[in-house]
Amino acid sequence: MGLTKFIYFKLLGWKIDGDFDRSIKKSVLIVAPHTSNMDFLLSVLVRRILKLQINFVGKKELFNPLWGWYFKWMGGAALNRDKSENKVQAIANVFSEHQEFRLAIAPEGTRKKVSTWKTGYYYIALKANVPIISVRLDYQNKVMGISEPFYPTGDIKADELKLRTFYKGINKTSGNIIYKGKISREIAVIKHLYGFVVYNSICK
């Protein structure tokens, strides 16, 4: 067992329910509920365990000569947004620039408790003509679940109701509460493996 698997399965005690269809090279991954700094760390570990490319977008200023290579290595893509172009279209364009691109998004847009999701994830998938894959973080049972791909129809109200059923029964327990003061050593190891730059820029 490698170090990544040891941390995820043994040290943290988490499981993985489901898998990604490797034939689907492009998709929007909606990760919820988003409650904790731990969300990113768990996702990074699972990405390495499944040997899957998972991506994010960031301002082009992040991809400077000093750190740009590192963000790209972590799956980042620079967002070159023209003033006349909206953000959804700009991100959809990123998909066309890559042979393989799985964009991870937290649909809640915040770690606070909210009753509605932001709609950007949906329209990005629609514009890019890619499926949506739901990923749920069940802190209570320590399970990361992965859904079957869902192809948006254009009816966001009906589609979101279907997407939300995957998260039904998941208690929005914060990983910050569960792990408070318990995993300083584990976080130190993860930072060492994946870098302070990405951890601090995304988790803080």
For residue range 13-63, list pLDDT tens digits in order: 999 999 999 999 999 999 999 887 788 888 888 998 999 999 999 888 888
What gap in Å lies between CA 159 and CA 155, rounded to an integer? 6
Query: What is the signed CA dihedral for 135, 139, 142, 144, rounded to 10 degrees?
Result: 0
pLDDT of residue 107 exceeding 90: yes
pLDDT surpassing 60 at residue 171: yes
**Cα distance between residue 59 and residue 79, in whole Å:** 5
Give the span between the Cα atoms of 114 and 117, in whole angstroms: 8
What pTM value is reported for the model?
A: 0.83
What's the pLDDT score for residue 34?
86
Whether the predicted pLDDT of 180 surpasses 50: yes
Beta bridge partners of 30: 105, 134
CA–CA gap between residue 63 and residue 135 (Å, rounded): 27
Give, as one character, the DSSP assignment of residue 45. H
- Please, are residues 152 and 55 in contact by the beta-carbon 8 Å criterion? no
Strand spans (E) along 120-193? 132-138, 143-146
Which is nearest to 130 in space by CA: 145, 152, 148, 146? Answer: 152
Q: How far apart are CA 157 and CA 201, in angstroms?
A: 33
Question: Using CA atoms, how far apart are residues 103 and 42, in angstroms rounded to an integer?
Answer: 16
Res. 78 pLDDT band, cuts 50 70 90: confident
pLDDT range class, residue 161, cuts 50, 70, 90: very high
pLDDT in tens, 148-157: 999 999 999 9
